[in-house]
Structure 1
Amino acid sequence: MPLHIQTPLIESDPLSQAAGRRVRLKLDALQPPGSFKIRGIGLACETHARNGKRRFISSSGGNAGIAVAYAGRRLGVPVVVVVPESTTERARGLIRRQGAELIVHGAAWHEANALAQSMLGDEDAFVHPFDDPMLWQGHATLIDEAAEAGPKPGAVVLSVGGGGLLCGVMEGLHRNGWSDVPVITAETHGADAFARSIAAGERIALDAITSIATSLGAKQVCEQALNWAARHPVRPVVIDDLAAVRACERFLDDHRILVEPACGASLALAYDQAEALQGFDDVLVVVCGGTTAGVDALRQWRDDLALMQGAA
Structure 2
Amino acid sequence: MSAVKSSPLHTLSPLTPSNELSDVCGHQAVLKLENIQPSGSFKIRGIGHYIQKSIERGCDRVVSSSGGNAGMAAAYSSKIMGIPATIVIPKSTPSFMISKLRQEKADVIVHGEVWDMAHKKAITLAENKKCCLVHPFDHPDIWEGHSTIVDEILEQSTETPAAIVVSVGGGGLLCGILRGLHRHGATDIPVVAMETEGAHCLRAALDAGKPVSIGEITSIAKTLGALCVTQGVFDLKQGIQLSSHVISDKQAVEACINFADHHRMLVEPSCGAALAAGYSGLIQELRESNLIQKKGPVVFVVCGGNIVSIDQLMDWKKQFKID
Q: Structure 2 length as normaliser, TM-score?
A: 0.92
What is the Cα-based RMSD across aligned positions, in Å?
1.5
CA contact (8 A) 1:194 1:220 kept: yes
Describe the SS at the equivalent of 1:158: strand
Alignment partners' CA distance in 2, 1:231 and 1:223: 16
CA contact (8 A) 1:235 1:276 kept: no
Structure 1 regions of 5+ residues with no counterpart? none
CA contact (8 A) 1:61 1:214 kept: no
Match of 1:289 in 2: 304
What is the aligned counterpart of 1:161 among 169, 183, 200?
A: 169
CA contact (8 A) 1:34 1:291 kept: yes
- In the TM superposition, what are the counterparts of 1:227-242 in structure 2 within 5 Å? 227-242=235-250
What is the aligned counterpart of 2:276 among 260, 268, 282?
A: 268
Instruction: In structure 2, give the amino acid aligned to 1:182.
Output: P
Alignment partners' CA distance in 1, 2:287 and 2:271: 17
- In the TM superposition, what are the counterparts of 1:1-312 in structure 2 within 5 Å? 1-120=7-126, 121-150=128-157, 151-274=159-282, 275-278=285-288, 279=290, 280=292, 281=294, 282-306=297-321
Instruction: In structure 2, give the amino acid aligned to 1:148.
Output: E
TM superposition shift of 1:84: 1.2
Instruction: In structure 1, give the amino acid aligned to 2:138.
Output: D
1:179-198 CA distances to partner (integer Å, 9 max, x unpaired)? 11111100000000101111
Alignment partners' CA distance in 1, 2:97 and 2:230: 23
TM superposition shift of 1:61: 4.3
Instruction: In structure 2, give the amino acid aligned to 1:35.
Output: S
Q: Percent identity?
A: 43
Structure 2 regions of 5+ residues with no counterpart? 1-6
Describe the SS at the equivalent of 1:125: strand
CA contact (8 A) 2:35 2:303 kept: yes
CA contact (8 A) 2:187 2:239 kept: no
TM superposition shift of 1:233: 1.4
Number of residue pairs aligned between Structure 1 and Structure 2 = 308
1:122-142 CA distances to partner (integer Å, 9 max, x unpaired)? 221111110000000000001
Alignment partners' CA distance in 2, 1:222 and 1:289: 21
Alignment partners' CA distance in 2, 1:41 and 1:236: 25
Runs of 4+ in 1 over 6 A off after TM superposition: none
Alignment partners' CA distance in 1, 2:315 and 2:287: 30
TM superposition shift of 1:230: 4.5
TM superposition shift of 1:204: 1.0
TM superposition shift of 1:74: 0.6
1:251-290 CA distances to partner (integer Å, 9 max, x unpaired)? 1111111111000000011011113454334311111001
Alignment partners' CA distance in 1, 2:48 and 2:31: 22
CA contact (8 A) 1:62 1:92 kept: no
CA contact (8 A) 1:61 1:217 kept: no
Higher deviation after alignment, 89-98 or 210-219: 89-98
